[in-house]
Amino acid sequence: MDTGWNTSWMDYVFKMHGVDQMLKKKEIDTMVLTHWHLDHFWGIESTLKHNPNITIYAPNTHYAEDMKLLHGGKFDKAGCSNNTPHKGKLVECDSKNIVKLMPGVAIKNFDVPIILRVRGENVLYFNVKDKGIVTVTGCCHPGILSLYSFARNNFAKGEDVYGSYGGLHITLFETWDPKFDDIIKGLKSFKPEKLGCNHCTGWLFAEKAAAAGLPIVKGTDRFRSYKKVSSVAKNNHVFLTNGDSVVFG
């Protein structure tokens, strides 16, 4: 899922985690692009340089500039470029159709307006045997409660939400608003069993959610040994970030 913002950083983490080799050997042959935000897409060269034939599922709401970068171009003003044109299949997802990736795995496109003139986000839903539904998100711009409601109304059929992994776009700026208390309350009503948060969730939200009794999966401190560390990172282990993993099952 997704390919980061900055090519040199993505090259660094892909190498560190062996993703470069997995792409080369086609062990990774598919990428789901959640949305066309810069921090999820502009590092596309790091993926394509190892496997230009990769299949990409992406929202159909792209701009000409996005296609230019995908096909080997650059954004001069942003200093962002891709020297390896995409040669594989681009599957464009719309909000009317749910795409089945494989048994138990689906992509649902939510047609929502998002900041920086981006529109629409692809969400991955996994039906984990004997456990329930797990959402995997890039930013979760549609809102995690909307995602859970969608699962309950469309996928669950007797099962329920089991958990989530990814960005939840809540306290992005690390400040608190009373409406975030309502999100905690809402999440509790779905009784998820595992919440693995990172990216734009906000460390503050994850910290408060854990304190309120939500099952936030604890991360290690491995990210601190990386060559760059987020300036908003806290010492409270509430994020799953670089070097961490989570298992749903």
- Interaction site with Fe ion (CB under 5 A): 37, 39, 139, 200
Please identify, using beta-carbon distances, which residue of 1 and 156 lies nearer to Fe ion: 1
Please identify, using beta-carbon distances, which residue of 39 and 207 lies nearer to Fe ion: 39
Residue whose CB is nearest to Fe ion in the complex, by number: 139
The 3-state DSSP class for residue 105 equals: strand
Please identify, using beta-carbon distances, which residue of 156 and 172 lies nearer to Fe ion: 172
The 3-state DSSP class for residue 47 equals: helix
Please identify, using beta-carbon distances, which residue of 37 and 49 lies nearer to Fe ion: 37
How far apart are CB 116 and Fe ion at their closest, in Å? 8
How far apart are CB 36 and Fe ion at their closest, in Å? 9
Please identify, using beta-carbon distances, which residue of 95 and 193 lies nearer to Fe ion: 95
Check residue 69 and report its DSSP letter: H
How far apart are CB 104 and Fe ion at their closest, in Å? 26
Cα 83 to Cα 45, 86, 240, 244, distances in angstroms: 7, 10, 31, 30
How far apart are CB 213 and Fe ion at their closest, in Å? 27
- Angle at the Cα of 95 (from 151 to 249), degrees rounded to 5? 30
Question: Cα separation of 227 and 225, whole Å?
Answer: 7
Question: Cα separation of 194 and 41, whole Å?
Answer: 27
Edge-to-edge, what's the strand order for the sheet holding 194-198?
Answer: 99-102, 105-114, 118-128, 132-137, 161-167, 194-198
How far apart are CB 121 and Fe ion at their closest, in Å? 7
